[in-house]
Every structure is written in C-alpha cells, then in structure tokens.
Amino acid sequence: MEIDISADCNHLLWNYKLNLTTDQKFESVAVEVCKSTISELKECADEERGKGFLVSCLVDHRGNITEYQCHQYITKMTSIIFSDYRLICGFMDKCREDINVLHCGSITTGEKDLHSQGEVIACLEKALVREAEQQGKAQQIREECKKSIMRVAELSSDDFHLDRYLYFSCRDDRERFCENTQAGEGRVYKCLFNHKFEEAMSEKCRDALTTRQKLIAQDYKVSYSLAKSCKADLRKYRCNLDTNLPRAREARLSYLLLCLESAVHRGRMVSGECQGEMLDYRRMLMEDFSLSPEIVLHCRGEIEAHCSGLHRKGRTLHCLMRVGRGDKGPIDNLCQNALQALIQSADPGADYRIDRALNEACESVIQTACKHIRNGDPMILSCLMEHLYTEKMVEDCEHRLLELQYFISRDWKLDPVLYRKCQNDASRLCHTHGWNETSELMPPGAVFSCLYRHAYRTEEQGRRLDPEQHLTRDCKVEVQRILHQRALDVKLDPELQKRCMTDLGKWCSEKTETGQELECLQDHLEDLVSDCRDVVGNLTELESEDIQIEALLIRACEPVIQSHCHDVADNQIDTGDLMECLVQNKHQKEMNDKCAVGVTHFQLIQMKDFRFSYKFKMACKEDVLKLCPNIKKKVDVVICLSTTVRNDTLQDVKEQRVSLKCRRQLRVEELEMSEDIRLEPELHDSCKKDINRFCSAVSFGNAQVIECLKENKQHLTHTCHQKVFKLQETEMMDPELDYQLMRVCKQMIKRFCAESDAKNMLHCLKQNKNSELMDPKCKQMITKRQITQSTDYRLNPVLRKACKADIPKFCQNILNKASDDNELEGEVISCLKLKYADQRLSTDCEDQIRVILQESALDYRLDPQLQLHCKDEITHLCAEEAAAQEQTGQVEECLKNNLLKLKQEACKKEVLNMLKESKADIFVDPVLHTACALDLKHHCAAITPGRGRQMSCLMEALQDKRVRLQPECKKRLQDRIDMWSYAAKVAPAEGFSDLAVQVMTSPSKNYILFMIALAICTLFLVGLLCGRITKRVTRELKDR
C-alpha cells in the first residue's frame, strides 16, 4: 500500500506512473494491441499522438472494446491512471481552479500528500453533491469540471478499486460483507450498497457509499450495471434523446426511471436485467432520502423539526410522508412536491418491497393475510388496504401503509393496476398525459375523481349517455376497488381533504377514530362551507349507490350480509340493493351493534337529501321534478309524494300522478322511516322533550320510541300529541306503516292475512284475533290498536267511511267542539252506539257499530267513555276483573251487577247505556250470549241477528211455560229483565220513543194510559161545550 512506502519511493513511483500515461512507447503498444478498436472508434483515431490522449480516449471507451488483448491492456492502464487524479488526462487542467477554491488539496507535482490517494476527487464529488442540495448557497463548480468529475465517476463505475477514496474507506467493509463478491462490473459497489445500513458498516464507508449513490442519482452512468443493463432499452424507448432537456436533467436517475417505468406501465417490453437494476435503485432511493437533492433542499425544516435521528432504512422518508399527510403539522409545498416526485420515481406502488420501511413493518401481515399473492405483486398493497383496521393489521404497518397511500392517492399513475386497466379510458375521458408527463394544471386526485364520476354515471341519471362516455368493465372494477379502499381515510381523498380542511378542524377535531371524520362531516352537512358540502354530498350520493365504499360498515355487517344479503352483495354493480337489504334485516339475530348503528346512521344521513337514497332518486327523479320541485330533504319529498298518492287514491282519479315505479319505491322508503322516530325529523323534533321525559330508557330501533309515545299519549305536550295523533291516523289508514304491528304480527299476517290487501291488514287481524292459533303477543298488539281506534272515529277508517252520513246527522254537536289533532275520547262512537240501540243507523254503519259493540262488550278498554267516567268505580268495585289478562266482559258484568252502588251519575249513565245497547242485540252482552248459546241454537235458530230480534225470541221463550231454558240462561235473562226494569226507572227519557218504552214497561201503565185518555177527552168536551173563545170576524173584514 502506498501509505506504507517512504516518501522518496512514493515520489519515484508517482513519476513512473505519470510517465507511463504519457510515454509514446505505451501509446505505440496501445496502437499495436488495439488496432481494430482504434479504427472502429473514430474519436480515438483522431486524437493527437505523443501526449497520452490516445490511451485516455481508450480508457474512456473501454466499455465498447471487444478485443480481449486490448481490453486487458487498457484495464491495467486504468488502474494506474485512477490511482491519482493528476494522472487522469485533462482532469487537472479542467478542475485546477475548483480544487483551489474548494481547498481540496495541493496540486504541486510530486509533493507527498494523502490527496493523491483519491481524496481530491472525493472532495470535489462531495462539493458537487452539496451544490445540488443547497442550490445557490454552496460554492458553484465550473461546468467543465463538473463534467470531468462525473466522467471520472462513470469511468470508475465498473471496478470499485478505481474509486480510490471509496476503496480505501471500505476495504475492511468489503472483506466483512462482500468477501465472496468478485470485483468488476460494479458488483462490489452493489454489494456494499445493499449493506449500507448494517450496524457493522463503518461510518466512513457509509459516507463514501452515500456520495457515490448521490452521484448515481445525478447521472445514472455512474452505475455501471444500470447503464449497461438498460443501454438497449434506453435507446429503444428514446429516453436519452430529448433535445429539449439539458444534459444534466436527462442523465438524472429519476428521469431514466420515469422513462423506463412509463414503458413498463404502457405494457412495453423492458429486459429483465434492466428491470432488476431499476428495482434495486428504486429501493435505494426509498431507503435514503439524502439521495434526492430536492428533498434535502426543500424539506430541511421538516426534517429538523419532526424527523431528526431517523436516518436509516427509509424511516426519515416515512416520517416526512407522515408530516405530508398532516399528522405532525403543516408542510411546505415545495417539500410536498419533492416527496411526490420521489414517490413517482421510486414507484413503490408497483412493488411494495421497494419501500423497505413498509416491507419490514408489514411483513407479518403479508405472511398471514396476503400469502396467496405472489411476492412483489402490486396487489399486495391492495391486499394490505383491504385488511386495514382489521384484527390482522398491526399498528406500525397501518401507519406506513397510510403514509404511502396518501401520496399514491394524489397521482393515479402510482397504482399500476389502475393505470394498466384505465390508461385508455383516462386518456379518452379525462385528457391525461403519458405516465412520465405531468400537468401542473391538474390538481392532485383529479384524474381519479374524473374516473369514478364516469364509473357511477348511468343512463337513468339524465340523457342517454354516449357509449364513448362509459368506462370499460375492467377499469370500472378497479375504480370501485380503490374507492372502497380509500374511503377508509378522508386523507386518501385529495379533493375532500383540500375542500374540507377548515370544516374538519371546526366540527371534527375530536373525531379521531377510524371512519369518524367522514361521518362527522355528514352529520354537520348543513353547517359546512359550500365547497365542502358539495364534495361530501357527492361522496354520500356515491355511497348510496355503492355502500361497499363504506368498507368499515360492510366489515361490521359481514354476518348479516352472509346470512341474508349474499345474493345482492355478490353483484358487481350495487345500485343501492345491499343497503336496502341491510335495513330490512336490521333486527335479525346476526345483526351486531356496530352494524346496526352504521346502518341507522346512514339512514339518518339519507334524510338530509333525497339524492342520498340512490334507488329512491332513480325511481322518483321525474316525479319529484314535476310534483315536488325545490324540495331537497328526503323526508319532505316522501311526505309530498305520499300526500299526492293519497289524494289521488281518495279522489279515485283514473291515472295516478306519481309513476308506478316511484310508488313502489316510495312504499319502501315509508316502511323504512316507520322503524325509527329519528327518520321522521318533524315528529322527532316535536317530541324531544317527551322522549327525554317518558322514553329515555327506550332504544330508538324497532319503532320502540314511537310505541312509547303512543302509550303515554295522554301526558304528551300539545305539539307532540298532535303529531302522534296524525301519525296514528296515517297508520290506521295504512297499517303497513305501523312498524310494531307488522313486526309483532309478521307470522300471523302470513297465516291469516296473506291474501288481504295492505290497507285492510288490521281489519283482517281483528277478525282472527280470537282464533286459537293466534299468537298471544300479536293478539295483545291488535288489542292495543283497537283501544287506539276506539278513542276517535277518525282512527277507524272503515267506520269513518261506513258512517260518513250518520255521524253528521246524529252527532253534529260533538263534531262542533272537536279539534283536528286531538281525540274525541270515543264520544262519536258512543253517540253512534246509542243510535244503534234506537235502530236508526244506516245498514253499513250499523254493521260496523255492531262489531264495535261486540268487541267493547268483551273488553272495557275499548270503551273510552266507560273508562273515563267509571275509572274510580272500576278500581274499587271491579279491580280483580280489570286485572285479568284475558278480558271476556267481566268488568262490564261487574259494573252491571253493582249498578245500585254506582255513585257518579256519569258512570251510572254509561252502564245504563250499556244495558240499553245490550237490549238491541244479544251479541253485545257476552255473558248472556255465552249462557244462552244452546237455547239460541234450539229455540231461535231461524231468527236473524240484529235489531233485538234474538233477544225478543229469548224473552218470549222465558214467558212461555212450555219452553224449558237452560238454568244459567234463565237466571241471566231474569237478571237482565230486572236491570232493564231498573234502568227504565232511573234513566231519563231522551225522546218520545224512550218515553213510550218507559210507559209500556211501567207497572202502572194502565193507570198512566187511563189518565192520558181522560185528559184528551176532557179537552175535547171543553172545546165542544164552551164553543169558540175568539171573537167572530165579519165576511167584509175577511175579504178586504
């Protein structure tokens, strides 16, 4: 080694080497050995002889030398020349001034100094690198010296011995890491590069290697293996023939990578050797941020503030990427652009292994979740995204993945599968450039936004689309895949993040958990600035068409989807079917809390704008424009369309104004809204206080809060009471909207009412209420609805229709004091019952009242007036009967038996009315009817029910001594006669008919009739005997 040789010997050797490079003898040997090569290399043949220029030229072109002897000779000469910068032809002349200015060493020939071992060149190389990193702040190197430095680096690229500084810095490391690596063709360099961040690597060698890598980043030819392997491909794809670019830009490693990657992404053939070299250098760029001068220059502040001490294995770069995401604070635009440019050059989206930090962090996840995918396949990143926020994902991998995806999401070209499948569509529809061409005018994420807008456009959304406006099937699938993955994090949607930055800070700063930020923005949709509101609205509209964009929700709902919705989930195109299925199965046993909350939240968001319900929007768009213009909120649109349908139905119009397809979807929306009070904002807002007061412990789903409000209706605030009454009126007209009834009685409806029309569902259930096959819970729910109906005739549509002429005729005084939204507490129905007893109702109305009388006779709760006026009496006299689970008329019978004990006149009157009603028909008296069932069958079978006919038949049988009635029937019948007799005494006559009945049933009827006849006779006799009382008037006065 030269440093162990004495100064005199060293000087002698140096002069000997210098003479060798300029000696004509060696030049003549070169001419002899390299004859054919010199003739082939025109530039060397023209060199002036005798000054060493020929040997220097051959050294420069030694890569093109094919003659074996010539190559061997020139290789030996090269090792001599490169041992000292002063021996390299022309180098000292071109760089003398820069060496002095930069203080890189002495140039006195023969002076003993360490710089002769390559440190001068190393000093110049570092200065060249520093100049690129500091732009304007560092000392400028003259252009001709720059070229010489790069040329020296290039010429020493095949044999690491030729880079004297690196050779001496890395001798021990070479023995440690690359002992078995044969020198030549840049193999030792590559081996050392691969071990650069090993703990055992010396700092001096690491610095020397970094400088070498930085030179490669500035000129790819400094890497012998890369330049050699990719030479043909570079020429083939014209990567070094762009005359518009300066040589320095064209030679950049990043430019070469972009050009060749563009060819690969376009599906062109690039040799395997070249792709292998590219992969190595892309990995090298991702491992060490300092190899990218723009990042060193523009991200210095961010590195010092957030990322100091994280230099190795790509950790600094990932730290900067996290800063770029906004996770650690603001980032300078120049730094952000430099990071984006580096990601494009390194293209880690094509092979995750390029990103060493990601590779190490995600190795365990890849081994478990993505082992079915070939190593290095671009779909590995997609697989990792699909497992984001799942149990298989580890936290460190999650961070690295999101940091990388943030930058990939801002340039659609960085997802190689998307680019391959969509490049033609993007060019045709979004006017994109080539892979390595960028447009400053196109904002981040713009191309992908354009693609997904076209992916979700349909013919139904407006005029018929030109087929040219459609995405190809493969491209659409890719766009949907990426949209599903990126929806997990708002920062992966550049447009959303940019427009909603302020609103995210204002409304959602505390929402840090997965997926919460978008939900928060949707919750505050009305409060957002218009730009943000538009983009959130568009995204929500897309979700309604393809709910799989809500990846977290889909994961939470996987059990329900597998059990109940797998048919629609398997469809390539969703069109809102999956969400509709989830809503319909929201209360299945497979449904978990996370899924239920997510589905309900989406339903609540849909209420804000009818466009957020894809199926509703598509089915009713024309109807809304025609019938409900300028209405935006879904609930208002539903009310508007429902009102139109109801009015058209009531008026029996020939052609409904709302289209059939819209009516069908409208029904689906109405049914969904009936499940949760929050889906009916007007009702929810009006009843908030009441919900907190009476229903705070009740969960919102399954219409439980609505049911709770109905049960506490008497105690509700006026506004809430009105809304609940309106709701009940709607539900009674259309029982399908009564969610609790339809849920509890689902099986009974299938059993008894499968053929019934939806509007007559409750009527059908009431008819089958006392069947042995009726489910007790359903029976209880039917009774609840009957009790509700009994409070107001308006809640009984069948009765209302049947008695529309009778009600104003007989009960107008009650109607006069009625209000629109409050119950009449059964007054109108009580009025009609009395008229039924008088046999004055129309046939249709009579039929309905008979049913009501029968039902209320069995269950006192169906008679609100009786409940209202006899509340205390029932509590004190009939408590046991009232507590019975099954009501069969016991309470009414108890009140009748205790008629003499009743103190309140109002209660007594109600019981007397009951007795009067029972006289009209035996069915109204269930106790008597049960006791006399056999006698009716034997003695009155031919008598048609109604108008008291069967009761009269039994009375005649009682008085006929030839007829033997059942003892129980006889006893009950006698009791009724006594009660009627008492009632006749007590009850005031309400008309001449009542008066006549009372006279005829009175024990003193003969006396009363005699007195009435006597009075009439007396009046007649007085008139006959006393003549006229008035004065006679003359004819003349009459004729005047």
Q: Hey, what are 510's tokens?
A: 């505390």
pLDDT score of 649:
84
How far is 590 from 468, CA to CA, in rounded Å? 44
Cα separation, 996 vs 1016, whole angstroms: 17
Spatial contact of 617 and 638, defined as CB atoms under 8 Å apart: no
Q: How far is CA 614 from CA 313, 516, 541, 574, 812, in A?
A: 48, 23, 7, 10, 49
The structure tokens listed for 476 are 């659409």
pLDDT of residue 1029: 59
Burial class (CB within 10 angstroms; exposed 0-12, middle 13-18, buried 19+) of 1036: exposed
Burial of 700 (0-12, 13-18, 19+ CB in 10 A): middle
> In the prediction, which pLDDT does 750 show?
92
Query: What are the strands, taking DSSP E only, across 349-396?
Result: none
Q: Which amino acid is at 450?
A: C
> Which residue ranges make up each domain of the chain?
2-217, 349-408, 414-432+445-460+467-495, 927-1004
For the whole model, what pTM was predicted? 0.74
Dist. CA 532–CA 506, nearest whole Å: 12
Q: Which of 891, 894, 896, 919 is nearest to 834 (CA)?
A: 919
Distance CA 860, CA 755 (A): 31
Tell me the C-alpha distance between 746 and 749, whole Å: 5
Are the CB atoms for 366 and 324 separated by under 8 Å?
no
Measured CA to CA, the distance from residue 246 to residue 260 in angstroms comes to: 19
Q: Show Cβ contacts of residue 620 under 8 Å, excluding neighbours closer than 6 positions.
A: 610, 637, 641, 658, 659, 662, 665, 666
Question: Alpha-carbon distance 318 to 321, whole Å?
Answer: 5
pLDDT at residue number 468: 67
How far CA 1033 is from CA of 1023, 1037, 1038, 1040, in Å, comes to: 19, 7, 7, 12
Complete DSSP assignment for 718-768: HHHHHHHHHHHHHHHHSGGG-HHHHHHTHHHHHHH-TTS-GGGHHHHHHHT
The tokens describing 929, both together, are 């009817």
Q: What tokens were used for 222?
A: 């400094």
pLDDT-flagged residues of the chain (< 50): 1-3, 11, 14, 106-115, 243-246, 459-464
Residue 196 has phi, psi (to 5 degrees) of: -60, -35
What is the torsional sign of CA 317, 319, 322, 323?
negative
Cα distances from 246 to residues 6, 155, 255, 892, in angstroms, run 47, 21, 12, 106
What pLDDT score was predicted for residue 663?
93
Q: Which residues contact 1010 (CB under 8 A, 6 or more apart)?
A: none
Burial class (CB in 10 A: 0-12, 13-18, 19+), 137: exposed
Ramachandran assignment for 757, one of left (phi > 0), alpha (psi -120 to 50 degrees), beta (any other): beta
> Tell me, what's the pLDDT at 109?
44
DSSP letters along 117-143, please? GTHHHHHHHHHHHHHHHHTTSSPPPPH
Provide φ and ψ at 988, rounded to 5°: -70, 145
pLDDT of res. 359: 92
